[in-house]
Amino acid sequence: MRERPAPADSIHPLYVGRFAPTPSGPLHFGSLIAALGSALEARCHGGRWLVRIEDVDTPRAAPGVAEAMLATLQRFGFEWDGEVLWQSRRAEVYAGALERLKAGGHVFPCACSRRELAEVPDSTLVRDGSRRYPGTCRNGLPPGAGPRAWRVRAGGVVRFADAVQGWQEEELARDVGDYVVFRADGIFAYQLAVVVDDAEQGVTHVVRGADLFGSTARQIHLQTLLGLPVPAYAHLPVALSAAGEKLSKQTLARAVDEGPPPSMLAAGLGFLGQNPPEGLSGASVKEVWAWARDNWNLGRVPRVLQLVAPTRVAGLTTEEAGLITRRQRL
């Protein structure tokens, strides 16, 4: 069995954590897990906890959802430090980072469409489910083709110690391939925006869901290319529905607002392996937070990438989830 990495606070004298949701739908139990784990880890280290709205992908951002998310966090007793950062207002900052990558020769223009890439025979799926780029435009655009996107030249091996999942190693060219930092639709990619924002906000520790586990090596690679500090990482298990699907708007995950905050928070603590007492779900929000701060231990979080969430917080029974899944596949 692999040993857990040394505590991240032994590396960073000041702890700065963050919660960075995408406003595509209301907060569900999976979102609550990421917020709860990141906030408690920051507070238990005497650190700051920031909130950032990751709405750089503007077509996915539904009107009013971000504001509703912030209101839900407050209702559940979350308290963040400083002002909320909005990615949709920071295009100029991301453009500056892209120019630095261009000046360093780290990126190249790409003319490939998604359809063309999908039609590449025997293309390899990478960790996050996307297809590895075959290198079509790496050495120059095809004759007559114009640039649609910008990709980073992937190379080298990225190694990092995840405080929950253990030691990780990824060979970028083999496991990921050249990745996009500026999309064909004129939007800066999440990978670029997040590393720029983490550096500017002074984030030292990233505690988030394991659905973003596959992005970590690319982000560390970008941080290195841009000369930015590399934070410590901890990836919490992703909450699954009874059908084994990640909780999301598409899988009809129940909004956490539909349940009493103390009960939902207590369920989140249980999901994260903290073993809260049975009566905690009937306590006040303030009492739940007091217990959580006194008893939080990242070492108790299950070392798995995903776990099935309790039906009462996920939103569907096994039979209901299975029916939805079958309908979606038709």
DSSP class of residue 108?
A: E
**Structural domains of the chain, ranges and CATH numbers in brackets:** 14-86+194-329 (3.40.50.620), 92-190 (3.90.800.10)
Name the nearest CA neighbour of 30 among 326, 308, 233.
Answer: 308
Sign of CA dihedral 212, 77, 232, 22: positive
Q: What is the pLDDT along the chain (330 residues), one digit of tens a residue?
A: 233 333 344 344 589 999 999 998 889 999 999 999 999 999 999 999 999 999 999 888 888 999 999 999 999 999 999 999 999 999 999 999 999 999 999 999 998 887 777 767 656 767 666 778 888 888 988 877 778 899 999 999 999 999 999 999 999 998 889 999 999 999 999 999 999 999 999 999 999 999 999 999 999 999 999 999 999 999 999 999 887 888 776 666 788 888 899 999 999 999 999 999 999 999 999 999 999 999 999 999 999 999 998 877 765 444 444 443 444 344
- Identify the bridge partners of residue 296 per DSSP, sorted by sequence position: none
Q: What DSSP element (H or E) covers 190?
A: helix 190-200
pTM (2 d.p.): 0.88
Sign of CA dihedral 242, 285, 275, 215: positive
